[in-house]
Amino acid sequence: MSIKINKEKCVGCKKCQEVCPGTLIAIEDHKAVIKYPRNCWGCVSCVKECAAGAIDFYLGADIGGTGSVMNVTKSGDFLHWNIRKPDGSEIVIDVNRKNSNQY
């Protein structure tokens, strides 16, 4: 369970660092790095916060991960959850933040 931060995309805004409930992200040379990847809870707060789309979330191989990654983009009331599979195919799930869960 952890995240990968894409250095090319990271703009060094520090927002991910602020929202991590474990303070696991540090800024080194103006770029975010995950200091303790094994300590990640998988809450995805940083992924949701990153406007640059620089943070990918993935499942560790020890919990069945097969290499797909997930990130989130926002527009208006929507969160767009983008999942990219290892074969390059993509799935997007849109969640309206004004809608409640049905279950």
Partner 1 sequence: MREKLQIERIETDVLIVGGGTAGCYAALTVARNSGKRVLIAEKANMKRSGCLAAGVNAINAYIVKGRTPEDYVDYATKDAAGIVRRDLLLSAARRFNDVTADMESLGLVILKDENGDYVARGNRNIKINGENFKPILAKAVAKEENIQVLNYVNITDLLVEHNQVYGAVGFSIVDEKAYIIEAKAVLVATGGAAGLYRPNNPGFSRHKMWYPPFNTGAGYAMGLRAGAEMTSFEMRFIALRCKDTIAPTGTIAQGVRAKQVNSKGFVYEDKYGITTSERVYGTVKENQLGNGPCYLRTSVITEEQDQQLLKAYLNMAPSQTLKWIESGKMPSEQDVEIQGTEPYIVGGHTASGYWVDTHRQTTIDGLYAAGDVAGGCPQKYVTGALAEGEIAALSILDKWKTAEEIPPTDSIQKQADAVIQEYEKIRNTNTPVFTTEELEEAMQKIMDEYAGGISSYYQYNEKQLNLADEKIEQLLKLSDEIGASDMHELLFAYELKERLLVCKALIAHLKNRKETRWHSFNENLDHPDTDSRYFKYVNSRLENGTIHIQFRDIVKEDTYEHKDQ
Q: Are 43 and 21 in contact (CB under 8 A)?
A: yes
Check residue 35 for interaction with partner 1 (CB under 8 A): yes
Contact indicator for 45, 20 with CB cutoff of 8 Å: yes
Using CB under 8 A as the binding criterion, the count of chain residues that bind partner 1 stands at: 44
DSSP letter, residue 100? P
Told to check if 51 binds partner 1 by CB under 8 A, we report: no
- Decide: is 71 part of the binding site for partner 1 (CB under 8 A): no
Alpha-carbon span 27 to 102, nearest angstrom:
39
Which residues would be at the binding site for partner 1 (CB under 8 A)?
1-2, 18-23, 35, 37-45, 57-66, 68, 70, 79, 81, 83, 85, 91, 93, 95, 97-103
